A and B are shown apart, each in its own frame.
Chain A
Amino acid sequence: MASQGKPITSPISDVYYPSLAVIMIGIGLIVTASFFIYEATSSKKTRSLAKELIAGTVASVFLGFGSLFLLLASGVYV
Chain B
Amino acid sequence: MALRSTHLFIFFFFITISLFFTSAFSNLILSKVERRIDLTSQIVRTISTLKVENEGPDMVSEVLLCFPDYQAQKLAFFLVSPNDGKGKSKSSTTSLPVQGVKPEGMPPSLTFYSVSLPKGLSKGESIILDVFAVFTHSLQPFPEQITQADIQLVLFQDSAYYLSPYEVKFQSLSVRLPSPRVESYTKLQNTKLVDSEIKYGPYENLPAFSYEVVVVHYENNRPFAVAQELVREIEISHWGNVQITEHYNLVHGGAHNKGGFSRLDYQARPHVRGVSSFRHLLAKLPPRAHSVYYRDEIGNISTSHLRGDSRKTELELEPRYPMFGGWKTSFTIGYGLPLQEYLFESEGKRFINISFGSPMQELVIDNLIVKIVLPEGSSDVSVSVPFSVKQLEEVKYSHLDIAGRPVVVLERKNAVPEHNMHFQVYYKFSGLSLLREPLMLISGFLFLFITCIIYMHADMSISKSSASYLAKLQWDEVQATLQQVQNIINRCLGVHDKLETSLRDLSRTGDIQACKAARKAADSYLKELAKDLKPFLTFLQSCPQAAQIWPKVEELVAKVKEIEEKLMMKHIMVVDSYEKKSGGREIENKVAALQQKLTTLRHEVDDILEVIDEI
In angstroms, Cα B398 to Cα A75, docked, is 14
Q: Does B243 contact A (CB under 8 A)?
A: yes
Q: Knowing A2-B344, A44-B476, A63-B445 touch, does A52 contact B339 (C-beta < 8 A)?
A: no
Among A35, A47, A72, A78: residue with most chain B CB under 10 A: A78
Whole-angstrom distance between the Cβ of A69 and the nearest chain B Cβ:
9
In angstroms, Cα B453 to Cα A63, docked, is 18
Q: Mark B310-354, 1 if CB is under 8 A from A, else 0.
A: 000000000000000000000000001001110111100011010
Q: Are A78 and B449 in contact (CB under 8 A)?
A: no
In angstroms, Cα B243 to Cα A16, docked, is 20
Q: Identify the closest chain B residue to A36 (Cβ).
A: B452
Q: Are B438 and A75 in contact (CB under 8 A)?
A: no
Q: Are A77 and B346 in contact (CB under 8 A)?
A: no
Contact of A78 among B345, B350, B399, B442 (CB under 8 A): B399
Of B172-180, B233-241, B262-270, B564-572, the one contacting chain A is B233-241
Among B399, B437, B442, B484: residue with most chain A CB under 10 A: B442
Whole-angstrom distance between the Cβ of A58 and the nearest chain B Cβ:
10
Q: Which of B236-262 contact A (CB under 8 A)?
A: 237-241, 243
Q: Mark A59-74, 1 if CB is under 8 A from B, else 0.
A: 1110111011001100
Q: Does A76 contact B (CB under 8 A)?
A: yes
Q: Are A8 and B339 in contact (CB under 8 A)?
A: yes
Q: Identify the closest chain A residue to B449 (Cβ).
A: A56
Q: Does B96 contact A (CB under 8 A)?
A: no
Q: Are A8 and B241 in contact (CB under 8 A)?
A: no
Contact of B483 among A39, A46, A63 (CB under 8 A): A46
Q: Identify the closest chain A residue to B478 (Cβ).
A: A43
Q: Knowing A8-B345, A8-B350, A9-B339 touch, does A52 contact B479 (C-beta < 8 A)?
A: no
Contact of B241 among A7, A39, A55, A77 (CB under 8 A): A77
Size of chain A's interface in residues, with CB distance under 8 A?
Answer: 42
Q: Does B291 contact A (CB under 8 A)?
A: yes
Q: Are B343 and A64 in contact (CB under 8 A)?
A: no
In angstroms, Cα B448 to Cα A28, docked, is 13
Q: Are B344 and A5 in contact (CB under 8 A)?
A: yes
**CB neighbours of B343 from chain A (8 A):** 7-8
Q: Are A1 and B399 in contact (CB under 8 A)?
A: no
Q: Mark B489-517, 1 if CB is under 8 A from A, else 0.
A: 00000000000000000000000000000
Q: Mark A36-56, 1 if CB is under 8 A from B, else 0.
A: 100100011111010011011
In angstroms, Cα B450 to Cα A52, docked, is 9
A-B contact pairs, 8 of them (CB 8 A): A2-B353, A5-B346, A10-B339, A43-B483, A56-B453, A72-B240, A77-B241, A78-B398
- Can you name 19 extra interface pairs (CB under 8 A) apart from A5-B344, A45-B476, A46-B483? A4-B346, A7-B340, A7-B345, A8-B343, A8-B345, A10-B238, A14-B239, A35-B449, A49-B453, A52-B449, A55-B449, A56-B449, A60-B443, A63-B442, A72-B240, A77-B237, A77-B241, A78-B239, A78-B398
- List 3 tightest A-B contacts by C-beta distance, closest first: A5-B344, A10-B240, A64-B442
- Chain B interfacial positions (CB closer than 8 Å to A): 235, 237-241, 243, 291, 336, 339-341, 343-346, 350-351, 353, 398-400, 422, 424, 431, 434, 437-439, 441-446, 448-450, 452-453, 456-457, 476-477, 479-480, 483-484
